[in-house]
Amino acid sequence: MTAQVFNPYAAHRHSIGANPIRRRVRVPEWVILLPIMVCLLGFYLAPIGFSIWGGFQAEGTLMSGGQYVGAEHYASLLRDSRFHGSLRVTVVFTVSTVLATYLCGLAAALLLNRRFRGSSFVGSALLIPWTMPLVVVAVVWGWLLDYQFGAVNYVLERSGLANRQIGFLTDPEVAIWSVGIAQVWRLFPLAMVTLLAALKAIPPDLYEAAVIDGASSRQTFRYITLPAIRATTVALVLLLGIWAFGRAFTIIFVLTGGGPAGATETLVVQTFLEGFRNFRLERASAMGTVILVLSIAFTALYLRANRDRND
């Protein structure tokens, strides 16, 4: 007669088999996504729909229920010289800052792609602007570019590069470029990191073969580096365009408020001023709809470029 050894696992299986089998209930995916969908509907889609609806209401009637006037506000925007000026400022600001941001980011990426002593420290230091909040960046640049007490004017006068103080934020011909410099300083680390990742992905064998064939550094950059990062460049430029078009509001508003004389008044800034300073909510809603359409176009181009890059 052999002794039986107690097996707790067998007993556990026996006890489970004695009880009715509990079936796992499968929860539909839409139930899990329902809270997120409700938040998106309440905090994003509802305000957007309200803004689009407000753009078709008569001026001064939005808060009292509205009075439909069709595309009257949109037609007035086409005739408004101030709107045309803001559109021109937006185009100049977006194109110039995107180009400068890309070139600065490319130069920094090419520098960090080389092996040299202290490259990690330099890379970390160059990332500092990206880690700073937008309001802090605007305030710091406001101090630096101040007309009377700014450090930039002080250095220029002491070094003899300028014989008078420059109104970086008060001169209509200079203010747009001053704000653009602050925008480029804030955004170029994004371009640097993105382009550096693209440069790291280029196979070293291509450069070795180019050196063996006697290609110069300029030829290597033109025929190997630029084609290799072309897809990344397209996606990055569109992303920078989205940032310069819509996200530059904070820097512009804190530094100049859209002035002087509308020199830095982009479409986003003008929309804010129309709605919350002039209290023309219906007109601001129409302008916001125009900005929404342009933003969707930028986003669609970016998503398509990003898809092509991944393919």
SS3 at position 1:
coil
pLDDT in tens, 119-131: 889 889 999 999 8
CA distance 150 to 265: 23
Please give the pLDDT value at position 2: 52
Read off the tokens for 84: 């045309």
Instruction: Please state which CATH number belongs to domain 72-310.
Output: 1.10.3720.10
More confident residue, 14 or 132: 132
Given this model, what pLDDT does residue 8 score? 53
Go through 261-284 and write b for each residue having 16 or more CB atoms within 10 A of its CB, e for each that does not. Answer: ebbbbbbbbbbbbbbeeeebbbbb
Question: Which burial class, exposed, middle or buried, applies to 62 when counting CB atoms under 10 A from its CB (0-12, 13-18, 19+)?
Answer: buried
**3-class state of residue 98 by DSSP:** helix
Dump pLDDT digits (tens) for 222-273.
Answer: 899 999 999 889 889 988 988 888 788 899 999 999 888 889 999 999 999 9
Per-chain mean pLDDT for the chain:
86
Distance CA(20)–CA(85), nearest Å, equals 75
pLDDT attached to residue 245: 85
154 vs 167: CA distance, rounded Å: 12
Q: For the chain, give me the number of helices (H) and strands (E)?
A: 17, 0
For the segment 6-29, what is each residue's pLDDT rounded down to a tens digit? Answer: 555 555 555 545 445 556 667 777
For residue 148, the model assigns a pLDDT of 85
pLDDT > 60? residue 79: yes
* pLDDT tens string 148-196: 888 999 998 888 888 888 899 999 899 999 999 999 999 999 999 999 9
pLDDT for 141 beyond 70? yes
Beta bridge partner(s), residue 57: 68
- The per-residue pLDDT for range 19-67, each reduced to its tens digit, is 455 566 677 778 888 888 888 788 888 888 888 898 998 888 887 778 8
Confidence of residue 5 (pLDDT cuts 50, 70, 90): low
264 contacts 175 by C-beta, under 8 angstroms? yes
- How long, in residues, is the chain? 311
pTM of the predicted model as reported, rounded to 2 decimal places: 0.82
